[in-house]
Chain A
Amino acid sequence: MRRSLFGLTENTWLYLLLSLGAILTSLDFLMAFLVAPVVLGGGVGGTAMIGGIAISNQLLFSQKIFFFHVPVAISSFLVFFFTAYYGVRFLMTKDKKYDTRAKIATEVTLVFVILTLITGDLWTRFEWGTWWVWEPRLTTYFIMTLLVIAYFVLRNSIEDEERRATYAAVFGIFAFMDAPISFAITRLVPSSVHPVVLRSGGGLTGTQLAAFLMGMFGMLMIAWVMFRLRLREEFAGEHIEEIKAALEG
Chain B
Amino acid sequence: MDPVLTEIYKTVLGAAPYVIAAYFLLWLGFIVYVAFGIRKVTAVEQQLAALEESVNRRGGSPAA
**A222-B34, A243-B63 in contact; A46/B4 too (CB < 8 A)?**
yes
B16 nearest CB neighbor, chain A only: A61
Complex contact B41–A18 (CB within 8 A)? no
| A166 vs chain B, min Cβ distance (A) | 25
B14 nearest CB neighbor, chain A only: A126
Residues in B with CB closer than 8 Å to A44 are 4, 7-8
How far apart sit A59 and B10, CA to CA, in the bound complex (Å)? 8
Residues in A with CB closer than 8 Å to B41 are 229, 232-233, 236
Complex contact A236–B44 (CB within 8 A)? yes
- Answer whether residue B59 sits at the interface, using C-beta atoms and an 8 A cutoff: no
Residues in B with CB closer than 8 Å to A25 are 30
Chain A, interface SS category: helix
B41 nearest CB neighbor, chain A only: A233
Give the contacting residue for B4; candidates A48, A59, A122; CB below 8 A.
A48
Within 8 A of B (CB), among A25-81: 25, 29, 41, 44-48, 50, 55-62, 64-65, 68-69, 72
**Quick check: which of A113-121, A140-148, A189-197 contacts chain B, the rest being far away?**
A113-121
B13 nearest CB neighbor, chain A only: A61
Residues in A with CB closer than 8 Å to B5 are 48, 50
Complex contact A247–B55 (CB within 8 A)? yes
How far apart sit A115 and B30, CA to CA, in the bound complex (Å)? 9
**A60-B11, A119-B25 in contact; A222/B52 too (CB < 8 A)?**
no
With A44-B4, A61-B15 already in contact, 16 other A-B pairs whose C-beta atoms are closer than 8 Å: A48-B5, A56-B8, A58-B11, A59-B8, A59-B11, A61-B12, A65-B18, A122-B22, A123-B22, A229-B38, A233-B41, A239-B48, A240-B44, A240-B47, A242-B63, A243-B51
The 9 closest A-B pairs by CB, nearest first: A46-B4, A62-B15, A246-B63, A229-B37, A44-B7, A242-B63, A119-B22, A61-B15, A126-B18
